[in-house]
């Protein structure tokens, strides 16, 4: 093996021997199970507690279940895997820490808020292509009840939300990535820079994150000398309906690019917003892009609908403390190009 990766342009890494995602595992909550792509998920939890005594433990249960599903589908066990890379929204990445304890693999915790699905997969891809590891397991999750009480208000208050607010997805996604096999391959990883245009409203995260998605996608095209036409689908993580509209407008204004029917936002698509108006602008949370990309879009690739997709998962890196201190919201987007076959 003589695999030497390389950096293209400013922020993109091109993989010499693109690693392959041989299996994914996705677990969602009961509400997500009543919405789009419900046939594409591996497990739909009957309730938000998953038999646990707290929502936090339920989220850990979802993440470990997603990991086990991915391993089962690929007929691999922990002993076949070199490294676990995971992250989530909860303070001190508690879901990932407890999951890593349960799974028992060497572990790196990563935090990129809702960009974690692509941050963890990107890092795993680079470590595999660098020759250090053969197989990695990556995972991320979010849970509506744990996120609401950490970031916003006790759900018992019944706070009303504005139309641009988003609904945190209850879901976990895991990916098993290795050197050889059948599945979508990671060909390029564009690592995001933090973008902060001064937005400070934590209930309007789509608007905060959209500029980060624009920046990373334009940089991906500049670094790789590719154009939107090189992709069958260009995906953002969880901008939601409002954020996705802003994203498209800014991409046109700053980059002169109209993605048209090639564009897809996981947050805008995961829920049936007409049937369930409580989701307002759509889905958000680390689990959003994880379950839609790993559950739905990879299936579409394997079934031949898309050959090449670019996924820019966006994250808002604020904390409840930074919001109380009236700081702006730093955002990031990590983009990965996937190819199948």
* Interaction of residue 94 with its own copies, rule CB under 8 A: yes
| C-alpha–C-alpha distance, residues 311 and 189, integer Å | 10
Residue of 294, 298, 248, 314 whose CA lies nearest to 69 = 294
171 forms bridges with which residues in the sheet?
28, 142
- How many C-beta neighbours within 10 Å does residue 141 have? 35
| C-alpha–C-alpha distance, residues 304 and 302, integer Å | 5
Binding mask 32-61 for its own copies (x = CB under 8 A): ----------------------x-xx----
Q: Both tokens of residue 161? A: 């939300």
Near its own copies in 60-89, by CB under 8 A = 82-83, 87, 89
CB closer to its own copies, 61 vs 129: 129
Can you tell me which of 74, 110, 172, 270 binds its own copies, judged by CB under 8 A?
110
Of 97-105, 170-178, 203-211, 292-300, which segment contacts its own copies by CB under 8 A?
97-105
* Interaction of residue 223 with its own copies, rule CB under 8 A: no
Q: How far is the CB of 142 from its own copies (least distance, A)?
A: 13
Of 100-108, 176-184, 224-232, 244-252, which segment contacts its own copies by CB under 8 A?
100-108
Residue of 244, 330, 319 whose CA lies nearest to 284 = 244
Q: Both tokens of residue 251? A: 């991409």
Report how many residues bind its own copies under the rule CB under 8 A: 63
Sign of CA dihedral 84, 75, 18, 65: negative
Q: How far is the CB of 130 from its own copies (least distance, A)?
A: 2
Of 67-75, 125-133, 136-144, 273-281, which segment contacts its own copies by CB under 8 A?
125-133
| C-alpha–C-alpha distance, residues 14 and 78, integer Å | 28
| C-alpha–C-alpha distance, residues 62 and 281, integer Å | 25
Decide if 27 contacts 58 (C-beta within 8 A): no
Near its own copies in 242-301, by CB under 8 A = none
- How many C-beta neighbours within 10 Å does residue 250 have? 17
Can you tell me which of 63, 191, 208, 235 binds its own copies, judged by CB under 8 A?
191
Can you tell me which of 232, 262, 322, 339 binds its own copies, judged by CB under 8 A?
322
Which bin fits 37, alpha (ψ -120 to 50), beta or left (φ > 0)?
left
| C-alpha–C-alpha distance, residues 297 and 133, integer Å | 26
CB closer to its own copies, 124 vs 172: 124
* Interaction of residue 166 with its own copies, rule CB under 8 A: no
* Interaction of residue 112 with its own copies, rule CB under 8 A: yes
Which residues contact its own copies by CB under 8 A? 1-7, 10-11, 13, 54, 56-57, 82-83, 87, 89-94, 97-98, 100-101, 104-113, 119, 123, 126-127, 129-134, 150, 191-196, 317-322, 325, 327, 330, 332
């Amino acid at each position: 093996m003589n695999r030497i990766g390389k950096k293209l342009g400013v922020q993109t890494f091109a993989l010499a021997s693109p690693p392959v995602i041989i299996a994914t595992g996705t677990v969602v909550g009961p509400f997500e199970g009543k919405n789009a792509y419900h046939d594409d998920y591996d497990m739909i939890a009957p309730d938000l507690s998953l038999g646990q005594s707290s929502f936090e433990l339920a989220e850990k249960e979802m993440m470990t279940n997603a990991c086990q599903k991915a391993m089962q589908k690929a007929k691999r066990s922990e002993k076949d895997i070199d490294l676990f890379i995971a992250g989530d929204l909860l303070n001190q990445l508690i879901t990932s820490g407890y999951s890593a304890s349960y799974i028992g693999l060497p572990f790196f915790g990563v935090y990129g808020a809702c960009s974690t699905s692509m941050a963890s997969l990107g890092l795993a891809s680079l470590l595999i292509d660098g020759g250090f590891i053969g197989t990695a397991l990556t995972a991320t999750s979010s849970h509506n009840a744990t996120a609401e009480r950490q970031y916003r208000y006790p759900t018992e208050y019944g706070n009303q939300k504005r139309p641009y607010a988003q609904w945190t997805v209850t879901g976990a996604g895991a990916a098993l990535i290795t050197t050889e096999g059948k599945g979508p391959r990671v060909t390029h990883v564009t690592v995001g820079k933090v973008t902060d245009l001064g937005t400070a409203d934590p209930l309007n995260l789509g608007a905060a994150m959209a500029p980060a998605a624009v920046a990373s996608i334009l940089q991906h095209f500049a670094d790789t000398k590719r154009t939107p036409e090189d992709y069958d689908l260009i995906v953002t993580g969880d901008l939601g309906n409002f954020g996705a509209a802003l994203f498209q407008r800014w991409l046109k204004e700053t980059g002169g690019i109209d993605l048209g029917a090639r564009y897809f936002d996981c947050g805008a698509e995961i829920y049936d917003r007409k049937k369930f108006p409580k989701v307002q602008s759509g889905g958000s949370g680390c689990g959003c892009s994880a379950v839609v990309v790993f559950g739905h879009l990879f299936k579409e690739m394997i079934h031949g609908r898309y050959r090449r997709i670019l996924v820019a998962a966006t994250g808002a890196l604020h904390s409840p403390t930074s919001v109380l201190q009236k700081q702006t919201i730093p955002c990031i987007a990590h983009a990965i190009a996937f190819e199948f076959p």
